[in-house]
Structure 1
C-alpha cells in the first residue's frame, strides 16, 4: 500500500484526508460518478467547527457557534467573568426555588454539550450543570449563566495542533474524591495527548462511591488506561505507530504504588479487577506511570 486515505462522514458532509494527493483526487472523482457531490476545497468548516491553518499548524475553533449562542441567549452584552464556575461551588438538587422554564434549561445544556467538542475549559462546569436536567433551580440556572458570561470573555479560544516530531501518548488523570455533596460520588477526568497535541478529554461523574482518595484515583487510572488503549489501536489503524509505553500521569502516590505492586492487600480487594487490569498493561509495557504534582 503506497499511502492511506481517511474519510469522515457526517450525514451528507465528507472530509477526506491522507498522504497521497493523487489517490485523494481519484477518490473524489469516483465519488462524483456515484453521487452528486461538490468539492469545497480545503477544509474550513465542519460540524460547527472552524478550521484554520498556517505553516505546520492547524487551529480548531467554535467561535461562530459561541457568538450565535450568546446572541440567542441575550448574553452578547453581558459582563464577562474569568471562570466558568465559581471556585468550590457545590450545587444540590433543592438548594433554591425551582427554575420557571426547565425546558429552556435543558435546551441550553444540550447546546453547551455540543460546544465541549473544542472547549475543554468548560467540560467540568458542563458536567456539573448537566446533572440537574430533571428539576433545575434558579441557582442551577445562575451557574449556566456564569458559563455563558465566561464564554463572552473568551469566545475565540481554540485548540492548536502542530508537529512536535514525535508520537508519544501521554495521559493526565485526576479525580475529586467525595466531590458530590448529594451522593458522595466522585467525578473523574482525563486528558490524552498524542505527539504533544490534545486529542481526547472527558469529565464524568461515576456511579460508585469510593472509600478512599487512593481508590478514586485508581479508578480514573483504570478508565484512562482504556482510553489510552483505544487511541493506540486507532493510531495503528490509520498507519501511525505510537511510541511505547504511553505515559499515565497521576498525582496520588498510593494509587501509583498499587499499580506497581502485584501484592494486593485487603483494602484493595474491592477494586482488584482494576488493579489487575492496570498492572497487566504496565507489565506488557503498554503504559508506564509517573507522578505529577497537584
Structure 2
C-alpha cells in the first residue's frame, strides 16, 4: 500500500534510529508511508493506473468504481482503500482480473462475498440480504445495553429535541462516538435514518435529553439487531423515487427536513434524511427543495446504471404528495403558490 511519490518528500530519522555519523540529516522517501498527507492519493493513483492498465474504466459518477464491458458481459470492481469487491456477468473476465491483481499486489481471494467493512452479506434463493448484525451487537456491548429493554420505535412520536435546553451531558466525546457509530449503521438501516439525523445536530454541545434520544435508538436496535435490506429479483428494472419534507419541523431554527428514497427494480438503493440549508416560507417551497435533492440523486443513479450497461425503463417516476410542488414542476411560470419566493427575489434585488 505504499504508493509512488511524484514530488520530493523528506522525513526526520526515526527516534531511536540514527545512522552512524549522520545525525542532523534527513531521509528522502522513495515511497509514501502511513501518516503522510500524500499517502492516500499516492496509493489510489498507483492502484488506478494498474487497474486501467488491465482495460478497466474509472466511473465518472463514483471514482471508487471501475468497470469493463466484454463480449460476455460486464466486470465491476469497487475499492475502499485496500478492500476490494469484484462482481459482474463475465465469470472468465473476473478470474482474469483476480490473476492480474495477484501479479501486481499481495492480494488474498476470500471467495464469495460474506463480509465487507462491517456489512454482512447473505445469499439465498430469495436474493441478497445485507445487514450489520455483528456491528449492532458490538455497539450494544460498547454502550452496556445488551441487557436493556428493547424499544418498539427508534424515537417517540412528538418528541422535539432542541439545542441548549436542559442539563448538559457530562461526556460530549461519548455522545459523538455513539452518534458516529449510528451514522455508519444507516448504511443498511433506513428505519433509523431520520432519528440519527436529528441526534446528529447536537454534536457540539449535547444535553442529557439528546443522549437519551440516542440511547433510545440503540434500544430500538436491540429489538431486531439482524434487520437489514433484501435485494431480490422483482422482474423489472424500473427506477422510482419518493420525496417528502416536514415544513418548519425544527423548533430551534424552523428549517424543514428533506426525506427521500430511490428504488431500482423494486429494491431500495438510496435514501437520506437531512435538514435543509435554508428556512422555507411555505410547505410548497420545502417540498420542492426535497424534490430537487431527489432529482439530483435520480440523475446520479441513472448515470451509474448507464455506465455499467443497465437499461433503465423510462420515464423515471418521482412521487411527491404536495400538489403545489407538482404544479410548480410542471409549470415554470411563477403563480400564486410561489409569489412569496418572487417577492423575496425582487425585495433583495431592489435593496442591492
1:63-78 map, 5 Å: 63-78=133-148
For residue 10 of structure 1, report the CA deviation from its aligned partner: 1.3
For residue 263 of structure 1, report the CA deviation from its aligned partner: 2.4
For residue 11 of structure 1, report the CA deviation from its aligned partner: 1.8
Q: Of 140, 161, 164, which residue of structure 2 is paired with 1:91?
A: 161
Query: In structure 2, how many angstroms separate the alpha carbons of the residues matched to 1:55 and 1:111?
Result: 31
Greater relative contact order, per chain length (Cα 8 Å cut-off, separation 6+):
1
- 1:185 and 2:255 aligned: yes
- 1:61 and 2:144 aligned: no
For residue 113 of structure 1, report the CA deviation from its aligned partner: 0.8
Q: Of 201, 219, 231, which residue of structure 2 is paired with 1:131?
A: 201
Query: In structure 2, how many angstroms separate the alpha carbons of the residues matched to 1:178 and 1:120?
Result: 22
Which consecutive residues of structure 2, in runs of 5 or more, have no partner in the other structure?
Answer: 1-69, 343-352
Alignment coverage as a number of residue pairs:
272
Secondary structure of the 1:5 match is: strand
- 1:29 and 2:107 aligned: no
Q: Of 211, 220, 231, which residue of structure 2 is paired with 1:150?
A: 220
Query: In structure 2, how many angstroms separate the alpha carbons of the residues matched to 1:222 and 1:94?
Result: 32
Query: In structure 2, how many angstroms separate the alpha carbons of the residues matched to 1:229 and 1:186?
Result: 23
Q: Of 85, 91, 109, which residue of structure 2 is paired with 1:39?
A: 109
Query: In structure 2, how many angstroms separate the alpha carbons of the residues matched to 1:269 and 1:24?
Result: 57
Superposed CA offset, 1:160-187 (max 9, x none): 0011121111001000000000010000
Which consecutive residues of structure 1, in runs of 5 or more, have no partner in the other structure?
Answer: 273-294
Superposed CA offset, 1:130-150 (max 9, x none): 000011000000001100100
Query: In structure 2, how many angstroms separate the alpha carbons of the residues matched to 1:140 and 1:263?
Result: 44
Superposed CA offset, 1:63-99 (max 9, x none): 0000000011000000001111110111111221100
Superposed CA offset, 1:25-70 (max 9, x none): 0110111111111111000000110000112500000000000000
Superposed CA offset, 1:87-129 (max 9, x none): 0111111221100000100011111111011010100000000
For residue 265 of structure 1, report the CA deviation from its aligned partner: 2.1
Query: In structure 2, how many angstroms separate the alpha carbons of the residues matched to 1:13 and 1:205?
Result: 32
For residue 255 of structure 1, report the CA deviation from its aligned partner: 1.1
Structure 2 match to 1:18? 88
Query: In structure 1, how many angstroms separate the alpha carbons of the residues matched to 2:126 and 2:104?
Result: 34
- 1:251 and 2:308 aligned: no
Secondary structure of the 1:128 match is: helix
For residue 268 of structure 1, report the CA deviation from its aligned partner: 2.2
1:109-258 map, 5 Å: 109-258=179-328
For residue 262 of structure 1, report the CA deviation from its aligned partner: 3.3
Secondary structure of the 1:40 match is: coil
Query: In structure 2, how many angstroms separate the alpha carbons of the residues matched to 1:55 and 1:188?
Result: 36
Q: Tell me whether 190-199 or 157-166 shows the greater mean CA deviation.
A: 157-166
